[in-house]
Amino acid sequence: MASFYRNTVDGFLHQTQEQIRDRLQMSYANRGYVTQFTDQTLSWERDLHALRQTLLECVNIFGPARSWELLLEFTIPRKEKRIDVVILVGDAIVIVEAKRSEAGAEARRQIEEYALLLHYFHKASDHRRIIPVLVSPHAVSTNHNALLQGEFFPQLATYWINAVAHSSWLVFSQLLVQVGRQVQSQIHADEWDESPYFPVPTIIEAAIALRSGLSIREIAHSEASEHEVAEVRQTIQGFVEHAREEHHHAICFLTGVPGSGKTLVGLSLAHSHENKADAIHFMSGNGPLVKVLQHLFTQEGRREGASAPQARVQAKTLIENVHVFASYYTDTNSSAPSNHAIIFDEAQRAWNRKQNLRKFKRDYSEPEMLLRIMERHTDWAVVVALVGGGQEINDGEAGLEEWGRALLGTKKHRSVHASPEVLEGGASTAGHRLFGEGTTGLKIFENSALHLRTSNRSLRAENLATWVDCVLSGDHEGAAALKIADKFPIFLSRELKIVRRKLREQSIGENRCGLVGSSGAVRLRADGLEPDSSFHAEYPWEHWYLAEANDVRSSYRCEVFATEFEIQGLELDWIGVCWGGDFIRSEGGWRLRAFRHGRHSKWSDIQSDDKRIYRKNAYRVLLTRARQGMVIYIPRGQPDDPTCLPLEFDATAQYLFKCGVTALRP
């Protein structure tokens, strides 16, 4: 069991303090703790005595308290954290952190993190009321009636957590009885204690876990699909092994909704022990993602004792920039690459022929180039293409169709494994298809397992991608019908300082927050946010994602916003989406605009179909980066500035309210 001790309140009161203490000490030793510290024993003695007095008083005041259930030293799996006391009061979960001295901000953050971990990842705590309580001798008396009535969780803005209560042992019984008078059927301690715990890692946490040797099945769980990611990874592993054994060439297209785990599958294949003999290299054209993961792996290598140069080389071997790989094997090396299999993350962003010609004077597309490079292997080779629908965000990104053209133009016989979405078009590919009508000579194998259906990024909001699709397509009724805010808070404010304050309030425990915005939102400069592309190109994004809050470069500061280029493929727990004048709502629908500098600076409607797609996709990326919640900032505008007209921003805000977004109170 996860706890050191569990019993009913009645059973607890009928045991001696010595019996309970001995049980705690035995459990402590059985968890592998060799040394029993005196401080721990004294803490148990003191807290057990106080807890006994509190529960005796509860039983005397409120008879049903005897059937409440109690757990001591509940261990949060895989987090190396223990909750002092959990009291299951009917169907409410009271978590208690006992402090000997005054409970300050750090203690508050600690118990808030416990509450969030249970709320998001502990199955038996789902849709339960969680009440975190800090108990200390010097706590200021709390109005318990006011705390436990009316709106839940005004501070956390999640839907099953109360704000933290501060109490002393002397009055704690009053709070518990007040909870007991409001609850329904009793949660059973054994079921709650042994309930599954499924944490959903960020891509950064997952990368560290994979590098340390954990399997994808151990780290990739989601609320709606516990094993989907692991099964997809095994399916692709089977294609690789078959190609290796049968000496043939293959390409595999994996699709999925934003945040469903495509990158996680790719990283897992690259780190798998099954592929050590023939390493699969993970590649991406997403420069910030590559930079962040390389920096992360360099740090991990240094912690493990490698020298700085060794750690950097190892990191760059694990994560490669696909453009650098393609350039090396095209311009300076004509041999077969060292690896027989490659993973191309965000494959739909590969350059088309025009972009490749403009950049490097190569008169062929990047998909053509990569296929030619892998064809140098005479025995076998596999390309795994991870495809995100509606994620093309920049000039020259080829899209799925370019891969189809490259495959039809190749002379090499290879099998093509693809999801139905790749072959027929669907929401996850934004309607794009790999091939048109003709597929002469290709062996095509449709496999429904190659599509990840469930978003793991946005905790408790598997429909977020669908909601975003409705918002961007102008279907406010469809968006509102999803009732996204029932599980996933999305707020809107017209004041940037309020947005920043809200985001920082949510940065509790290990939660990370930050601002994002469109690269085309050039007038955000009026709010003190720098949109200049040269500034963004030089910014140390690895520190933005990885540094702690006291580092002014980190996302926590909410001073520098990441654009769609810096945030794609990554995520934050809470994001602030800074809306720009490049994507404005009007009576006729969305207006997609580009900014024109000159004597009279102004916005102009985008005419190019491709550029309109890129602008729309930029907002699709921005609106699907949050794991726990989102705050949208829409400026109020300036009546005397035609580039920031209040009416345009007002119309956009009103439209989003119709889509189900909640106004953020000051």
Pairing label, strands 626-633, 602-605: unpaired
Tell me phi and psi for residue 522, to 5 degrees.
Answer: -70, -20
HSE-CB at 398 with a 13 A cutoff on CA atoms is: 27
Pairing label, strands 81-89, 92-98: antiparallel
Give the pLDDT confidence of 288-298 residue by residue, as tens digits.
Answer: 888 888 888 88
pLDDT at position 500 is 96
Closest residue by Cα to residue 196 from 222, 228, 162, 160: 222
Q: Which two tokens stand for residue 460?
A: 């408790």
39 Cβ neighbours under 8 A, 6+ residues apart: none
Element (H, E) at 39: helix 38-61
Q: How far apart are CA 296 and CA 267, in angstroms?
A: 14
Q: Residue 1 is which amino acid?
A: M
Tell me phi and psi for residue 573, to 5 degrees.
Answer: -65, -50
Give the pLDDT confidence of 347-385 residue by residue, as tens digits.
Answer: 887 888 887 777 777 788 888 989 999 999 999 999 999
pLDDT at position 399 is 75
Q: Are 88 and 186 in contact (CB under 8 A)?
A: yes
DSSP secondary structure of 419-440: -HHHHH--GGGTT--S--S--T
State the sign of the Cα–Cα–Cα–Cα dihedral 527, 533, 537, 541: positive
650 Cβ neighbours under 8 A, 6+ residues apart: 637
pLDDT at position 440 is 65
The secondary structure of residue 67, as a DSSP letter, is G
Q: How far apart are CA 51 and CA 256, in angstroms?
A: 50
Closest residue by Cα to residue 288 from 499, 626, 624, 570: 570
* Helix (H), strand (E), coil (C) string for 255-307: EECCCCCHHHHHHHHHHCHHHCCCCEEEEECCHHHHHHHHHHHHHHHHHCCCC
Q: Which residues of the chain fall short of a pLDDT of 70?
A: 1, 31-42, 78-80, 103, 138-159, 199-201, 209-227, 275-276, 389-392, 396, 398, 427-428, 430, 438-440, 455-462
* Helix (H), strand (E), coil (C) string for 545-593: HHCCCCCCCCHHHCCCCECHHHHCCCCEEEEEEECCCCEEEECCEEEEE
HSE-CB at 466 with a 13 A cutoff on CA atoms is: 14
Centroid of chain to Cα 210: 16
pTM: 0.78
Give the pLDDT confidence of 596-616 residue by residue, as tens digits.
Answer: 998 889 999 999 998 998 899
